[in-house]
Amino acid sequence: MITFEDVKNSPTIRTYIEKADESLIALGYTEHSYAHVTKVSQTAKYILLTMGYTQREAELAQIAGYLHDIGNIVNRVDHAQSGAVMAFRILDNMDASPQDIATIITAIGNHDEGTAYPVSPIAAALILADKSDVRRSRVRNNDITTFDIHDRVNYSVVKSRLSINEEHTVVELCLSIDTEVCSVMDYFEIFLGRMILCRKAAQRLDLKFRLVINGQQLL
């Protein structure tokens, strides 16, 4: 049975994560390396465990989170689908079961905004975990004057926390942002598509999605 530790310790997977991030550096994208995939994998696991799913389901979400961006090594366009195909080959070579492979690659193939849909609880957890990873440390551009919209939005975030309430009815993304870098409304406008996707993912888990920025509830 494939485990998260097997995936995390695979030299092949580590190479693909590093090379995919190198491609994104060349394209001027924010950080998509170990910090991102580790955070996404941990958050996806947290979401499912908190909502009462099994340890195995949470571990499969964790694996999907760790692998979800490897398709960027092929191209940023359609990276979710190319990543799912790559993950199929990798996991098959690691003797993962067809059931586990199917679950993982379905989540990976459905995580990116253009084609995403929370087709399963694991896919929903991956979407929420990925789209909520907004933080200043993801910005690699040191020249604020040349920031694009993604740099500006991420750099503005001073504090970020995704949590599920005790009643297990609401998943809340709470952000503290520096409005001198990016206004609350600019943030909301830029990330509206992602936040709507998070709402759909939350609904798949029988949750309501709430976005709070600087104490203001926007969704």
How many residues are recorded in the chain? Answer: 219
Residue type, 204: R
pLDDT at 42: 98
Closest by Cα among 98, 138, 106 to 124: 106
Query: What are phi and psi for residue 163, nearest 5 degrees?
Result: -145, 155
pTM of the model: 0.95
pLDDT at 147: 87
pLDDT at 28: 87
Domain covering 4-217 assigned CATH 1.10.3210 in the classification = yes
Distance CA 163, CA 144 (A): 30
Question: Which residue ranges make up each domain of the chain?
Answer: 4-217
**pLDDT, tens digit only, all 219 positions of the chain:** 999 999 999 999 999 999 999 999 999 899 999 999 999 999 999 999 999 999 999 999 999 999 999 999 999 999 999 999 999 999 999 999 999 999 999 999 999 988 999 999 999 999 999 999 999 999 988 888 888 877 888 999 999 999 999 999 999 999 999 999 988 888 878 888 899 999 999 999 999 999 999 998 987
The tokens for 200 are 């759909």
The tokens for 43 are 């958050």
Query: What are phi and psi for residue 174, nearest 5 degrees?
Result: -110, 120
pLDDT at 218: 85
pLDDT at 146: 87
